[in-house]
């Protein structure tokens, strides 16, 4: 039996867990928006080089226009907007809680598929949604802010995390529409990344923050290497493997396996970031992941 999609989904979880740790660090060094802008440029550069080597075509200009439309929309919503919210959530909450809130994406994805594509939800699937929401709510409620944390810091982080999950879910559904037939995930990812980079940098220029972005990097040059590493692990390896997963596996199974970063990040947060992880956080995380599994494996 071919398990390419399932293996790719598991690999995606490990890549995204690692990148959440990296970008949580860079976000606190230079800000979440600067991190997002620069990592898109690195990721696009990696993909252009990779596609030139694999397909002798830096960007898939020979692809159908419909692919470009679907995948460009997916990149703008998932990689520009969704990841902007995700990095803000990581900066506010850290990699553990930020990545847990991102596991809302499969729930949002199933609801979007239900509303717009006519997919039905069974009673067991609805039960899975409830379990996941209860688990995430349990972790959020048990999260304690440090004494010197600004008022409302956690609330803003949770709000951004929910928006990040919605953005990723929408981007995943749109990318599925653009990857019909046999189409390389690396080529699809290049289209998504190009659209995302153009969108975010036009937005940055219109806001007049191009100079501020450059100055932030000059002030902390070490962060450039970290962002370059994060772009390699996340936008290149992680996103490409996620597209490979949804192409070769049922989107429900793939989404469930790709929802594991919160579990992977738990020991990292405890041993590396010295974050206090109580039994409520562990139990809530496990309950949330179980709910996602019930939702898609029902």
User: What's the pLDDT score for residue 46?
Assistant: 94
User: What's the pLDDT score for residue 252?
Assistant: 66
Quote the distance between the C-alpha of residue 258 and its chain's center.
Answer: 10
User: What's the pLDDT score for residue 105?
Assistant: 80
The parts of the chain modelled with pLDDT lower than 70 are 1-2, 119, 143-153, 251-252, 273-274, 295-298
Instruction: Give the dihedral sign, CA 20/248/4/251.
Output: positive
User: What's the pLDDT score for residue 201?
Assistant: 96
User: What's the pLDDT score for residue 7?
Assistant: 85
User: What's the pLDDT score for residue 172?
Assistant: 82
Lookup: tokens for 74: 């997916």
Q: Which of 156, 208, 153, 177 minimizes the C-alpha distance to 72?
A: 177
User: What's the pLDDT score for residue 157?
Assistant: 86
């Amino acid at each position: 039996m071919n398990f390419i999609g399932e293996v790719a989904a598991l690999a995606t979880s490990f890549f995204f867990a690692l990148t959440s740790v990296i970008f949580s660090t860079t976000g606190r060094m230079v800000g979440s928006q600067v991190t997002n802008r620069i990592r898109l440029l690195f990721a696009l550069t990696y993909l252009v080089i990779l596609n030139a080597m694999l397909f002798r075509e830096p960007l898939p200009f020979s692809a159908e226009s419909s692919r470009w439309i679907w995948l460009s929309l997916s990149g703008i919503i998932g990689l520009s907007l969704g990841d902007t919210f995700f990095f803000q959530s990581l900066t506010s909450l850290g990699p553990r809680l930020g990545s847990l809130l991102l596991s809302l994406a499969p729930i949002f994805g199933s609801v979007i598929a239900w509303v717009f594509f006519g997919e039905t939800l069974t009673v067991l699937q609805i039960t899975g949604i409830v379990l996941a929401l209860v688990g995430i709510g349990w972790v959020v409620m048990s999260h304690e802010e440090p004494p010197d944390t600004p008022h409302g810091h956690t609330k803003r982080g949770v709000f951004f995390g929910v928006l990040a999950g919605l953005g990723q879910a929408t981007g995943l559904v749109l990318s599925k529409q653009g990857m019909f037939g046999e189409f390389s995930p690396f080529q699809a990812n290049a289209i998504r990344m190009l659209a995302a980079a153009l969108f975010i940098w036009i937005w940055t220029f219109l806001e007049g923050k191009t100079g501020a972005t450059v100055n932030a990097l000059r002030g902390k040059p070490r962060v450039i290497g970290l962002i370059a590493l994060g772009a390699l692990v996340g936008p290149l390896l992680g996103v490409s493997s996620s597209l490979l997963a949804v192409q070769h596996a049922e989107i429900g199974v793939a989404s469930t396996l790709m929802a594991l970063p919160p579990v992977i990040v738990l020991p990292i947060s405890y041993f590396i970031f010295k974050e206090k992880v109580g039994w409520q956080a562990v139990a809530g995380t496990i309950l949330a992941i179980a709910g996602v599994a019930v939702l898609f494996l029902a």
